[in-house]
Structure 1
Amino acid sequence: MAETAYVGIVQAIRRRIASGSLRPGDRVPSTREITREWGVAMATATKVLTTLCQEGLVVARQGIGTVVAGPVAGPVEVAVRSARSGVEVTRDLVVRTAIAIADNEGSGALSMRRIATDLGVATMSLYRHVSSKDELLLRMVDTVFADNPFPADPPPGWRAGLEVAARLLWTMFRQHPWAAAALSLTRPRATRRTLAYGEAVLRVLAGTGLDEYRMFQVYVAVFGYVRGIAVGLEWDAADEQETGITAEQHFLEQDATFADVTASGAYPTFVRVVETSDFDMDLDEQFEFGLRHLLDGFAASLLALRLR
């Protein structure tokens, strides 16, 4: 029965692709969506996506999920067509081409040679616009911050302002998974747009009663929290792209290993919580949970300060 269902689902998704209802670059149903739509077990849904990957019909794409394979008219292709049709290669074009490569394939795919190939120009010509890959990465970071500016008129109150600041960062890291690792807390490098973000966050904290030292600690704590939860996004996406195995499929494949490791009975609390909680590793939900409690802690500290 499960075997018949698996074949039928594969054929159904194939038909959607062949008919054009799912086009190159469109996200196909996830394993969880397959289980809901067709009423099959997670293992069957996993087999469906694995088969479609093996057939070359779908691929895992960084920051998106499993999508229909084929050429997609994205920023890189637009840049290539523009350069080869005689449009001048500018610094902004170089930087945005680099961002598109890193977004789609990870920062490991990024090199001056690769950018030059996509733009149809000589590698050495890029150095007229950026002096090194290090400068390129810095300009990439500055650009994605420019594309995600802090609102000019944020909601009133320190808590609402910090929520905006944290969610803005989280959205940016979701869009550009490589950016979290490119930003260091202990070895920061200033750009106009990253400093503009920091300025906006510190303005939110002005008037809270915190001294400047504590204000900066709160800023670093919020930034570090968001960066910390986001820093694995690129690695996870790269692993999914390389193996074709989604996060959901990975958890399923770990069931046997988990059973072997916990068979000794040495981890009773962990096993009980995992087996009874029905916990789902939803990073967006986990981000909101952590942010809420982080800000609750700040609120308690501010209250204590005002009661002194």
Structure 2
Amino acid sequence: MGTDRPASGAANGPANGAANGPAGPRYERIVDELRQRIVSGELAPGDRVPSTRQITQRWGVAMATATKVLTELRRAGLVRAVPGVGTVVEPRPGTGSAPRAGAPQPRPAGLARPARATGTPPPSGALTLERIVATAVAVADTEGLAALSMRRVAADLGVATMSLYRHVADKDALLTHMMDTAFAEHPLPGTPPPGWRAPLELSSRLLWEHFRRHPWLAPALSMTRPQLIVSALPFSEWVLQALHSHGLDLDTAFTTQLTLFNHARAIAMNLETEREAEADTGLDSEEWMDGQEPALLDILTGGRFPALSEVARAGYDLDLDALFEFGLQRLLDGLAPLLATPPAT
């Protein structure tokens, strides 16, 4: 079970025969319709296009045909796959209306997009720590942590590698600066909302937002050997203040803060690993799951896993944003009984 499995038997019945017979015209008509919606602006840059599951439902075609539709749109440069999100419309040349490839979207509701470092400083500018960090963030955002090195950053800046060491001690120090910059892009507001739940929801969603914007950020952070990231400290302080002021002791409050942090981080780890897997295999998550589906269905036909079989037949759309929000609400629900005491003075 991954993303976009067929939701009904219709896609596996007569439609399969139609797709395998006059599949060409049907497949081309779907591609043409989606292309027209993109060109006309009905589907704007960054918008999600129908998933393979949605295509099978709407047009009554087989999963293989739906996959071929999205593959053709990607080959035409009209769409791209975003880990954990789905297939979205690429920006039209010269519009600058969407982030570069690899930047996750869409964004959680209610959070504005802060300005993004481009990593392309003016050639005549002096080499500074800020320029080095901005360039390193751009490399990691676009190509992942595996592509990040002092030599690569120096090459993008057009300077000698050794010149970077006058501003940053080593790659680990550079990574700490990058994380500090990432968290500083969109800080928590000066005044938290009232109560305890609203502040925890806001801080957790903003943390998730940072992980979404920078897929490398979650795997770069460590809980057992935490880096000194000054701009991230307000997240801990915010949660501690909200919980302690409502009767929770600081030790339990800090445990709660770590639990919420690791909930967001654990889900966000999939963003970078999926990007690496797609680069290694040339397949997005939907295409990979299509290749695994026959083996999975063969295992499930034995009747040992009736619940899993039902999920596979119904189809399941993996939405990381929805998964994060569901887990967040259940964690806060479980925390509520501990806070059924009057606020501390």
Partner residue in 1 for 2:12: none
Summarize the alignment of residues 230-241 of structure 1 with structure 2, pairs less than 5 Å apart.
Answer: 230-241=268-279
Task: Say whether 1:31 aligns with 2:51.
Answer: yes
Task: Say whether 1:294 aligns with 2:314.
Answer: no
Does structure 2 retain, via aligned residues, the 8 Å contact 1:34–1:40?
A: no
Deviation at 1:89, TM superposition (A): 2.4
Task: Say whether 1:178 aligns with 2:219.
Answer: no
User: 1:114-154: per-residue Cα shift (whole Å, max 9, x none)?
Assistant: 11222222222111221111011111111111012111112
Partner residue in 2 for 1:279: 316
Partner residue in 2 for 1:6: 27
Partner residue in 2 for 1:248: 286
Structure 2 segments unaligned to the other structure (5+ residues): 1-21, 101-114
- Matches of 1:79 and 1:188, distance apart in 2: 26
Does structure 2 retain, via aligned residues, the 8 Å contact 1:50–1:244?
A: no
Deviation at 1:295, TM superposition (A): 0.4
Partner residue in 1 for 2:305: 267
Partner residue in 2 for 1:43: 64
User: 1:193-249: per-residue Cα shift (whole Å, max 9, x none)?
Assistant: 122221222112221211121111111111111111111111112323444433333
Deviation at 1:27, TM superposition (A): 6.3
User: 1:143-188: per-residue Cα shift (whole Å, max 9, x none)?
Assistant: 1110121111121111111101110111111111111111111111
Partner residue in 2 for 1:218: 256
- Matches of 2:184 and 2:225, distance apart in 1: 21
Partner residue in 2 for 1:104: 142
Structure 1 segments unaligned to the other structure (5+ residues): none
Using CA pairs below 8 Å that are at least 6 residues apart, which structure has the higher relative contact order?
Answer: 2
SS in 2 for 1:232: helix
Q: Tell me the C-alpha RMSD between the 2 structures.
A: 3.4
Q: TM-score normalised to the size of structure 2?
A: 0.75
When residues 7 and 275 of structure 1 are mapped into structure 2, their CA distance, relative to the original with a 3 A threshold, is closer
- Matches of 2:46 and 2:306, distance apart in 1: 43
When residues 62 and 302 of structure 1 are mapped into structure 2, their CA distance, relative to the original with a 3 A threshold, is closer
SS in 1 for 2:235: helix
Partner residue in 1 for 2:7: none
- Matches of 1:92 and 1:263, distance apart in 2: 57
When residues 16 and 298 of structure 1 are mapped into structure 2, their CA distance, relative to the original with a 3 A threshold, is closer
When residues 203 and 76 of structure 1 are mapped into structure 2, their CA distance, relative to the original with a 3 A threshold, is closer
Does structure 2 retain, via aligned residues, the 8 Å contact 1:97–1:115?
A: yes
SS in 1 for 2:165: helix
When residues 263 and 257 of structure 1 are mapped into structure 2, their CA distance, relative to the original with a 3 A threshold, is same
Deviation at 1:91, TM superposition (A): 0.9
Give the paired residue count. 301
Partner residue in 1 for 2:195: 157
Q: TM-score normalised to the size of structure 1?
A: 0.83
Partner residue in 1 for 2:8: none
Does structure 2 retain, via aligned residues, the 8 Å contact 1:53–1:244?
A: no
Does structure 2 retain, via aligned residues, the 8 Å contact 1:63–1:177?
A: no
Partner residue in 1 for 2:106: none
When residues 206 and 52 of structure 1 are mapped into structure 2, their CA distance, relative to the original with a 3 A threshold, is same
Task: Say whether 1:122 aligns with 2:142.
Answer: no
